[in-house]
């Protein structure tokens, strides 16, 4: 027996040593993922007292309240906003990621850096920067006024369009990076093979490139869609908090309405939604593309 049983049959059960290596991750997951999720679940069955404290118990009332048309409508609207954000991120991000991955190494490094640079500053600062751009006396309106004074000022800030702009801006890198990774892994010989077999430049994409980068797209879409559904800061700052999304409603339950159990139920519902959609996505994935 070697002290480091590294090479194992794929699918073999990990030995004691492997468990030891995994332990920090497992502890971390248990402490910061499993325990909070269970707390949330437990809380969602509770009730609030007059003062807003959680009374633990078992009641389905909070879940019954989810069916209130007020919250259902907000749920649907949040999904719509997130879906629009995801589609726009995909339309903008995919070509960027594709050309990034196919660029010459030095250019690629530089461009990749540019994609990542915004992460160096706080998300909030970047959102405030958008306010400075979109507001009535802001940069964009100054430009519009200079080009065509009759159009100015455009009421851009505090509109749903501003919210979507902010969401797309914030989450674009989360789409670009996984798509970039999958395009980079794409074997150039496959594209040549497609050309060789008679596929012109426009047909190679749907026939070969798109299906083979599907895992990257799926990862990117998940990374954009999931946080976009629950986002509340952008709706507040760029949307003027006019149209509440599900993230705002949840935030309100915890910080304004002092109704933690209901907030927890909303959170659990959101979590359930993501789990179901992930399982669907998994089930729908084509057999051959699983590899790669």
Partner 1 sequence: MSARIELEGVGKRYGAVTAVREVHLTIAGGEFLTLLGPSGCGKTTLLRMIAGFEAPTAGRIRLGGEDITGVPPHRRPVNQVFQGYALFPHLSVRGNVAFGLRMRGVGQAEIGQRVDEALALVALQGLGERFPHELSGGQRQRVAVARAVVCRPQVLLLDEPFSALDAKLRQSMRAELQALQRRLGMTFVLVTHDQDEALALSDRIAVVNAGALEQVGSPREIYHRPATAFVAEFVGHANLIPVERTSGTADRATVRLAGTLELDLPAERWPAGRSATRAVVRPEQVVLRPWRGAAPDALRGRVTAAEFRGDRELLQIALGDGGGLTLTAVQPGGDGDTADFAVGAEVAVALPAANLWFLPSG
Partner 2 sequence: MQFKIPSFPGRLAALLLALLPVATRGAGELNLFGWSEYVPQPVLEGFTRETGIKVNFETYSSNEEMLAKLVAGGGRYDLVQPSDYTAEAMIRRKLLQPLDRARLTGLGNLAPEFTGRAHDPEGRYTVPYMSGSVGIVVNTEKVKTPVRGYRDVFQAAHRNRIVVVNDSRELVSWALYALGQPINTIDAASLARVRPLLAEWIKLVKVFDSDSPKTALLNGDVDLGVVWSGEAALLWREHRKFQYILPAEGAHQFVDVLAIPTGARNVTEAHRFIDYILRPEVSRQISAAFPYTNPNLAARRLLTPDELANPASYPQGGKLESFRDIGRAAADIDRLVTDLKSAK
> Mask 143-182, x = binds partner 1 (CB under 8 A)?
----------------------------------------
Query: What does 185 interact with, of partner 2, partner 1, none (CB < 5 to 8 A by kind)?
Result: none
Sole residue written with tokens 């993922």: 33
Which residues have a Cβ under 8 Å from the Cβ of 279 and sit 6 or more positions away? none
Q: Which residues inside 53-92 make contact with partner 2, applying CB under 8 A?
A: 53, 68, 70-71, 73-74, 77
Least separation in angstroms between residue 51's CB and partner 2 is 6
Token representation of residue 77: 């609207």
Least separation in angstroms between residue 237's CB and partner 2 is 8
Is the bond preceding 259 in cis, omega lying within 30 degrees of 0? no
Closest C-alpha to 170, from 91, 257, 233: 233
Token representation of residue 126: 């970047």
Residue of 18, 133, 161, 243 interacting with partner 2 (CB under 8 A) = 243
Q: Is 10 in the site for partner 1 (CB under 8 A)?
A: no
Least separation in angstroms between residue 6's CB and partner 1 is 24
Residue of 88, 140, 212, 270 interacting with partner 1 (CB under 8 A) = 212
Residue of 48, 86, 180, 226 interacting with partner 2 (CB under 8 A) = 48
Inter-residue contact 231 to 245 (CB < 8 Å): yes
Backbone φ, ψ for residue 250 (5° rounding): -65, -45
Please give the angle made by the CA atoms of 37, 43 and 44, to the nearest 5 degrees.
Answer: 90
Q: Which residues inside 254-273 make contact with partner 2, applying CB under 8 A?
A: 254-260, 262
For partner 2, which is the closer residue by CB, 141 or 213?
141
> Helix 214-230 and helix 160-185: axis angle, to 10°?
150
Q: What is the dihedral of CA 42, 28, 115, 251, to 10 degrees?
A: 20
Give the binding site for partner 2 (CB under 8 A): 48, 50-53, 68, 70-71, 73-74, 77, 122-124, 128, 131, 135-138, 155, 157-158, 232-233, 236-237, 240-244, 249, 252-260, 262
């Amino acid at each position: 027996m070697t002290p480091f049983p590294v090479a194992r049959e794929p699918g073999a059960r990990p030995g004691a040593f492997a468990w030891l290596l995994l332990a920090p991750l497992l502890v971390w997951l248990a402490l910061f993922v499993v325990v909070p999720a269970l707390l949330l679940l437990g809380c969602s069955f509770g009730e609030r007292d007059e003062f807003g404290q959680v009374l633990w118990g078992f009641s389905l009332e909070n879940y019954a309240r989810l069916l209130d048309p007020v919250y259902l409508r907000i749920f649907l609207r949040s999904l719509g906003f997130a879906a629009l954000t995801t589609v726009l991120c995909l339309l903008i991000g995919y070509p960027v990621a594709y050309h990034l991955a196919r660029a010459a190494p030095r250019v690629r490094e530089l461009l990749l850096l540019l994609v990542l640079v915004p992460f160096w500053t706080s998300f909030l600062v970047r959102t405030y920067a958008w306010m400075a751009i979109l507001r009535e006396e802001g940069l964009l309106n100054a430009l519009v006024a200079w080009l065509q004074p009759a159009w100015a000022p455009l009421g851009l800030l505090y509109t749903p369009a501003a919210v979507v702009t902010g969401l797309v801006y914030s989450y674009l890198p989360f789409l670009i990076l996984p798509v970039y990774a999958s395009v980079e892994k794409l074997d150039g010989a496959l594209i040549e093979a497609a050309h060789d077999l008679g596929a012109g430049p426009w047909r190679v994409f749907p026939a070969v490139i798109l299906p083979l980068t599907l895992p990257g797209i799926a990862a990117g879409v998940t990374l954009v869609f999931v946080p976009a559904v629950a986002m509340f800061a952008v709706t507040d700052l760029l949307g003027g908090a006019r149209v509440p999304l599900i993230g705002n409603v949840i935030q309100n339950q915890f910080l304004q309405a002092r109704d933690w159990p209901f907030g927890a139920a909303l959170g659990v519902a959101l979590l359930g939604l993501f789990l179901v959609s992930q399982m669907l996505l998994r089930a729908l994935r084509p057999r051959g593309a699983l590899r790669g």
